[in-house]
Amino acid sequence: MMGGRLAGKVAVVTGAANGIGQATAELFAEEGAPVVVLDVDLAGESVALRIREKGGRAIFVATDISLEDDVRSAMARAEAEFGRIDVLVNNAAVFVLEGLEASVEAWHRSLDVNVIGTALSTRYAAEAMKRHGAGSIVNLSSISAFIAQPHFLAYSATKAALLNMTRCMALDLAPFGIRVNCVCPGTIRTAATDRHMAQTGMTEEQFLSENAPLHLLNRVGTPREVAFAILFLASDESSFITATPLLVDGGYVAR
């Protein structure tokens, strides 16, 4: 695809097999970027295939971002395939929606992917970006970094960590021309949302009636709406923005 807001930029998107990650990978391809789809879910291959069928450039690399060897290999593959890495979207996450009752194993799973996995992905992508003197990294935090929610302790702790990790990464990488920002979504309807509804026995009507009014816009968001915010921070349109959280929450935190 020629032209577009990301023309000439190579993007890596973690957790891109579904949800916000998938929407981001597809939008980036529409905007001219070759996309490297990373996920433990092999459905990521279908995402890359659909991008190619629409005329874009994309590859899928099966990757567990909590494993350093996987991350190192994936970033090397991205650079070998497309020659550089310009954009990294740290979207991959596990949703451990538990409070103080969360097991040590659950805590490790959450921290290993959401926090350490993000740090590893940033480390190895930034090495590639440094070779070209520029780059943009977008982390996916959450409104859960700003507010207290019942039985969200394990998840919210990781998203709050990402908020300050963004600032620290931005500080350390600024001398290399690399910007780091984060997007903080409100309630977004994704496959993970549907799984949560199934686990809790909640109907769609119950889910919407409970969650929509929490947002000033009185509805939940879509993955593509978040993807457009990520696109802005990934593109040169945000060239003087770094270390900044962008709320994409329909006004949730303003209440």
According to DSSP, the residues that pair with 136 across neighbouring strands are 87, 179
205 and 111 co-located in one domain: no
- Residues 76, 152, single domain; the answer is yes
Count Cβ atoms within 10 A of the Cβ of residue 105 and give its class: 0-12 exposed, 13-18 middle, 19 or more buried: exposed
Task: State how many domains the chain has.
Answer: 2
Residues 137, 215, single domain; the answer is no
Q: Cα angle vertex 16, ends 10, 11, to 5°?
A: 10
pLDDT digits (tens, 9 = 90+) for 65-119: 999 999 999 999 999 999 999 999 999 999 998 999 999 999 999 999 999 999 9
Give yes or no: 155 in active site: yes
Confidence of residue 200 (pLDDT cuts 50, 70, 90): confident
Q: Is residue 4 part of a domain?
A: no
**Is the CB of residue 226 less than 8 Å from the CB of residue 185?**
yes
- Residue 19, CA distances (Å) to 12, 39, 132, 145, 254 in order: 16, 12, 30, 20, 25
Q: Contact at 8 Å (CB) between 234 and 30?
A: no
pLDDT for residue 191: 84
Concatenated DSSP letters of 159-197: HHHHHHHHHHHHHHHGGGTEEEEEEEE-SB--HHHHHHH
Residues 232 and 207 in one domain: no
Domain, as residue range, for 84:
11-186+223-248
Q: Is the pLDDT of residue 21 over 90?
A: yes
| Active-site pick, 60, 124, 152, 155 | 155
Question: CB under 8 Å to 213, separation ≥6 — which residues?
Answer: none
Q: Is 254 inside a domain boundary? A: no
Structural domain contains residue 255: no
**The predicted structure's pLDDT at residue 17:** 98
